[in-house]
Structure 1
């Protein structure tokens, strides 16, 4: 029987399939990730079909003309080792041709990504804690992020990503089953964090702050908003020594590492103020 393999752009509903497969891989996506990620680039999700059966997915989200991010690179287990993943990988890379491309890859795949032109930048490490052990209520200077002017939030977020992505942030900050807080000092927004419900527990993502004390206050306030005994996850760039010291002080447990890699230069994205990255899937 002839095997016809086709690769095309996903429909919005098919992005849910990528989320489901990511959950099966243990990546623990958020409940509304499909909607939020789709806002970043509706054309940025590819699916591979073998005789019309979905067998491979990947995202190749393009931000403007200069930057892109690859994620959700998954082949259905029973179809691995047949070259189907390589073909959809090549399609994703072609879509982002000319861009500086980033990804968060599992450590054991670093050498394969290097062969495709990616260079190691730094590691991100997922940590896990328990909500009631992290919770702290009533921290000074904290406000609900949605109470602030949208332009203030937009200007604050701008230095933490290579290009502006307003549609994504609008969806991310407005999702259900999520809470966000900001740190205001003398009328200036100096820190912000979002906690969202995931298939298992909650993730704080992102967490941006001027210093570790602000980051701790944000973690405490966000953790206080979810049920006691909930798992709380935080993805920390290991090149930020303050962030590493913080999670150790909070007795959070390391879960796994990813390798942040780029095809060109490592973007300047305020890593010294990044205590929790936004997404392993779309940057």
Structure 2
């Protein structure tokens, strides 16, 4: 069997398969995630084939020489328990050798990730609300992010992630099924959020703000742009107490937790300003 099992870099079209498998796992990807994620690292997606049949996928996105992120770790259900997942996992880890590697893993797998050198930083929790219950257009400081110079947005985002990912952000903001809002106070961009259509409802991701009132204004404005009554999801770092207070105030319901883990020291990424994580799959 080992001779028949090959692991290689995915083509762009094969990233669609990883997205489909993620949907089957209940991860609810966005409609244009494949395109956006591919921009982050065209060589960062691996596929395992058994007799040319795709049986395993994983992403190992290398943002820089010092930071990478693992996601999309999925083995086709009927092929689990045969060691195929371990082999593609090892290939992903080898690709990111020397980097501080992050991931958002299911809580039940924390112990397995620890064995690979990961340590828990904090939990992220997915919350669900309804667009018509969250909608509000009550802030005069809000602007469409796409009306701002990209350099302004990039400078705002820089302290909120361990590495630059310019091409990803360009694609993320340009999605056909997405809208974005920023908070401008005294000429300074202080908050930003993007809402995109997913397989089920919409996700607000990311949501960055200086405080909870700014975050609430962004959420309200983004939710008000949805024309039907749809589910809205937000992935919140549990260590951000202001964010937890906000989702409770808005009567959003917890859906599930993930474990944010790193192989080295947790990077300083402004978690206190992160009210919504950009992606569980690529950070």
State TM-score, norm by structure 2.
Answer: 0.99
* Corresponding residue for residue 222 of structure 2: 222
Match of 1:268 in 2: 268
- Alignment RMSD, CA only? 0.9
Offset, 1:3: 6.3
Aligned residues: 283
Q: Secondary structure at the match of 2:195?
A: strand
2:203 is the alignment partner of 1:203: yes
Asked whether the equivalents of residues 3 and 51 of structure 1 are also in contact (C-alpha less than 8 Å), the reply is: no
1:253 is aligned to 253
Query: Residue in 2 aligned with 1:142?
Result: 142
> How far did 1:215 drift?
0.2
Q: Distance in 2 between matches of 1:139 and 1:224?
A: 12
The offset of 1:228, in angstroms, is: 3.0
Alignment of 1:80 onto 2:90: no
Distance 1:37 1:258 in 2: 20
Q: Residue 86 of structure 1 aligns to a residue in which SS?
A: helix
Cα distance, 1:127 vs. partner? 0.1
Aligned to 1:13: 13
Aligned residue in 1 for 2:235: 235
User: 1:165 Cα shift?
Assistant: 0.6
Q: SS where residue 126 of structure 2 aligns?
A: strand
Give unpaired runs (5+ residues) of structure 1. Answer: none
Deviation at 1:64, TM superposition (A): 1.4
1:179 aligns with 2:179: yes
3-state SS, counterpart of residue 206 of structure 2: strand
- After superposition, the C-alpha distances for 1:15-63 in whole angstroms (9 at most, x for unaligned) are 0000000000000000000000000000000000000000000000001
- Matched position secondary structure for 1:129: strand
* Offset of residue 261 of structure 1: 0.1
**Pairwise CA distance, 1:138:** 3.9
**What's 2:53 paired with?**
53
Q: What displacement does 1:137 show?
A: 1.6
Deviation of 1:2 (Å): 8.5
SS at match of 1:258: strand
TM-score, normalised to structure 1, is 0.99
Asked if residue 33 in structure 1 is aligned to residue 33 in structure 2, the reply is yes
| Deviation digits for residues 190-216 of structure 1 (CA, Å, limit 9, x no counterpart) | 000000000000000000000000000
Aligned to 1:168: 168
In the alignment, the residues of structure 2 paired with residue 185 and residue 219 of structure 1 have an alpha-carbon distance, to the nearest angstrom, of: 17
Q: Name the CA distance, whole Å, in 1 between partners of 2:52 and 2:106.
A: 29
